[in-house]
């Protein structure tokens, strides 16, 4: 209820909820949302009141408008796979039933949530220390995951090398 009250206070007279979007407040330079963070909505109340309350401010006010939410990690993986020509991920993305994070978990020998963290973070050249700080993955395990990921997906380093040599 505390988050809900905070958000209710952030609505204007038309019951529209406004957020601050910005680049640069996130280490990865991704678009971030804050005051309130609409990318990380938490459910503190499971009843209909919460669902009805959140529907109105998160509904497009444009005629036939839609609000779209993307799975950033998969979106970034798709872009990476296309640009770097990563054959493993390209094949996965051709199968609508495939789960790229589970496939990475199977490749890396870890649980899906850890593989998802690695998939996303490695595109931004995270270090073992970064995995440790951000996801509480022991440093040695993070180093092994990163090395295994790069061995299984050599296209990322080839892509980065090509970009850097063209500068």
User: Digits of tens for pLDDT over the chain (167 positions)?
Assistant: 344 445 555 677 776 767 777 766 555 556 677 776 665 554 444 544 444 445 555 667 778 877 665 555 477 888 889 999 999 999 998 888 888 889 999 999 999 989 988 988 888 889 999 999 988 999 999 999 999 999 999 998 888 888 888 88
∠ CA 98-138-135, nearest 5°, is 55
Beta-carbon contacts of 138 under 8 Å, excluding residues fewer than 6 positions away, are 132
Residues 9, 18 contacting (CB under 8 angstroms): no
The pair of three-digit structure tokens given for residue 10, joined into one six-digit string: 């952030």
**Distance, CA of 38 to CA of 150 (rounded, Å):** 33
């Amino acid at each position: 209820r505390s988050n809900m009250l905070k958000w209710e206070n952030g609505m204007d007279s038309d019951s529209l909820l406004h957020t601050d979007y910005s680049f640069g407040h996130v280490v990865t330079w991704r678009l971030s949302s804050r005051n309130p963070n609409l990318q990380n909505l938490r459910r503190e109340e499971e009843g209909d009141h919460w669902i009805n309350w959140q529907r109105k401010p998160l509904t497009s006010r444009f005629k036939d408008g839609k609000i779209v939410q993307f799975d950033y990690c998969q979106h970034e993986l798709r872009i990476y796979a296309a640009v770097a020509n990563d054959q493993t991920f390209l094949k996965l993305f051709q199968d609508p039933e495939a789960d790229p994070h589970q496939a990475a978990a199977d490749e890396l020998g870890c649980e899906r949530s850890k593989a998802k963290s690695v998939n996303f973070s490695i595109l931004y050249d995270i270090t073992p220390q970064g995995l440790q700080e951000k996801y509480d993955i022991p440093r040695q395990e993070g180093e092994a995951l990163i090395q295994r990921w790069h061995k299984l997906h050599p296209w990322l380093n080839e892509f980065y090398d090509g970009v850097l040599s063209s500068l």
